[in-house]
Amino acid sequence: MRKRIPIVWDFFIFTPNIISVMDIKQYLDSTYLKTAEQAGLSSEENEKVVQKAIQEAIDENFKLIMIRPEFVAKARKMIKEAQSKVTIGTVIDFPKGAQPLDYKLAEAKKAIEDGVDDLDFVTDYEAFKRGEVELVKSQILACTKLGLEHGKIVKWIIEVAALDNHQIVQISALIKNIVVAHFKESEYENVFVKSSTGFYPTQNGEPNGATVPTIKLMIENSFPLPVKAAGGVRTFDEAVEMIKLGVKRIGTSAAKTIADGGVSQSGY
């Protein structure tokens, strides 16, 4: 008999074949976040791409469909009609995170009204780099409070490609310390630290998303908060590697390709 090899947690014992379809999909946040302009499409064409992405998430039973705020209501309608368990995520103050707190809160409240499940806020990482820590702290506290009070999962995108290793450690710990100081222990699992938007421009082919070294730093310094690896996960094996490191979610625009064992050419 072939030896069964534990590859994630003690209570999750997989063989390589078993994890390839059923289980990996429950880590995948299937993602489409391009505007029509970014995609080189008309508004109508881009909306059809979004609708196709939502339908694929329903058909494939991915954990979540991650879309821009203006499409949350459409996703809620489609998922309800399909009687699907797929959850809906959206991004707030995307992709730069530089808007003031009122903007972040207003955009999040609208998404909540439209039926969102997960709110992925972009941290004002440039303000953090400038030393405006109190501003960043106030945004993290207020937005996290809003999300948790409405029963939503909150994720904070720190944009690792814009940070050096020391800054990744600092901002991961900052988010953790705010949550631990102000929220119940039972709520920790609902506040993630997330690596990337997938839209940060880098030079010389440097990665703009999750890498093993950055994810290790995030996990070490955000615990007990969970971590989401977003951007740069292109194959099934890379997804499994991230899960083995301890990530709880993986954001990708190629969820079906990864689940099917293919290789994605997408940058996110």
* H-run or E-run covering 218: helix 212-222
10 Å Cβ neighbour count for 221?
20
Whose tokens are 């938007």? That residue is: 197
Q: Which residue has tokens 């004002």?
A: 124
Give the active site residue among 34, 63, 155, 194: 194
- Is 228 tagged catalytic? yes
Question: Pick the catalytic residue: 25, 34, 104, 228?
Answer: 228
d(CA 182, CA 176): 10
77 in active site: no
Answer whether 65's CB lies under 8 Å from 89's CB.
yes
> Of 34, 120, 155, 176, which is the active-site residue?
120
For residue 191, which of 230, 155, 146 has the smallest C-alpha distance? 155
Distance (Å, whole) CA 139 – CA 116: 20
Q: Is 73 strand, coil or helix?
A: helix
- How far is CA 100 from each of CA 89, 127, 152, rounded to the nearest angstrom? 21, 11, 21
Other CB atoms closer than 10 Å to residue 155's CB: what's the count? Answer: 31
Provide the CB-side half-sphere exposure for 20 (13 A, CA).
8
- Residues that are catalytic: 120, 194, 228
